[in-house]
Amino acid sequence: MSLLIKAAAITNNNDAIFFETIQQSMKQLFSKFIFIASFFLLSGCKKNENIEIKNSKIPQNSIGYASGLSIVKHEGYSVVTVSNPWPNADKSFKYILKEKDAEVPDSLNNYTTIKVPLESIVVTSTTNIPFLEMLDVENKLTGFPHTDYISSEKTRTLIDKGSVKNVGQNEKLNMEQLIELSPDLIVTFGVDNNNPMLDNLKKSGLNVLIQADWMEQSPLGKAEWIKLYGALFGKEDKAKELFDKIVTSYNQALKLVAKKPAVSTVLYGSMYEDVWYVAKGNSWVAQFMKDAQANYLWSDLKGTGSEGLSFEKVLDKAKNANFWIVSGSFRTLDELQKANPHYSKFDAFANKSVYCLESKFGPTGGTIYYEVSPSRPDLVLKDYIKIFHPDLLPGYEFTFATKLN
């Protein structure tokens, strides 16, 4: 037994010596490793620091919601890409927004270069007016086609003073007047690839930018186009601040109805001549009703835009709908019935649950909803919530909607 204990003691002692030797060797190796590592760390510190700085400055697209817009900020210039400019488009547009004395790579010279910040601009859609006003650059607007369409009081004051000229119509802009005005930029849109007016503008030496906010189906995607105007006028930070507030307001409205079931059925639209155009399930309109927790009856109709149906088909599906969001400028149920006596067959008509968002006008007849709603989707959503869930917004007054009496 004592031999076993002694043998074990010897073994343990040998193990201790062995591990002590290993430990000393490891200490030596570790010291060398620390020295070598420190050497490479110190010698490569500046290089790694440069890599980190370089990576932190990699230009990023500042757009998060809009599907048809990209803005990438570089040192002294921005690259703006407008994709999906019209239905079934097979092309996109790229623009270089160049600041004073900035150097732009030769590889970008083939694209339209626009000097920023702009000092003057012509826009062709009323949806652009709120963006200019929100950024406090409405005084840079020098021309607009058919100025009566503009409802905003601030811009109407400029029109009345003669600061904003009427430059014709979007499809037939007054070329001579535009050349005389010589704006830094004309922002317009195209409905297809066949637009001779755009070619004529470019041939006249005028800078033209195609905007496609009207193609966006996301409510916040439309509103995010304010960032384009922020880039054009050197107010990127202001545009981001304003848009972030809209996103916050929209999300707060979503939280209000998050736990509300979508039980109310909704009919949308009205007859145009002999056709009833219903909004498809992936459209801008349908998205609002979904977000407001309402059961839009054509939410399963795939696609964007609208689809034409007969009155009979609409009546068959929506006769018992709880609500009717009518399109057009109707203000009373009498006006609605005079337009089509058959409208009274809908339960929503009989129950006086008909609402219109397009019946408020500016002093010269422009529709306020068309002008303002794309830039303030949070207010549109709150109007819908007030219609479908009035208990959630007891003190809220409609911004756009009117209940037909």
Rounded Cα distance between 159 and 141, Å, is: 10
pLDDT of residue 57: 67
Residue with tokens 């409205």: 253
Q: How wide is the angle at C-alpha 404 spanned by C-alphas 153 and 347, nearest 5°?
A: 150
- Residue 55 amino acid letter: N
Own/partner pairs for 393-399, CB < 8 Å, 24+ apart? 393/256, 399/372
DSSP symbol at 192 = S
Residue (of 86, 57, 85) closest to 72 by Cα position: 57
Who has greater pLDDT, 232 or 54? 232
pLDDT tens digits along 159-214:
999 999 999 987 789 999 999 999 999 999 988 888 888 888 888 999 999 999 99
How confident is the model over 292-319, as a mean pLDDT? 97
Per-residue pLDDT of 45-95, as tens digits, reads 433 434 333 444 688 999 999 999 999 999 999 999 999 999 999 999 999
pLDDT at 41 over 70: no
pTM for the model stands at: 0.84
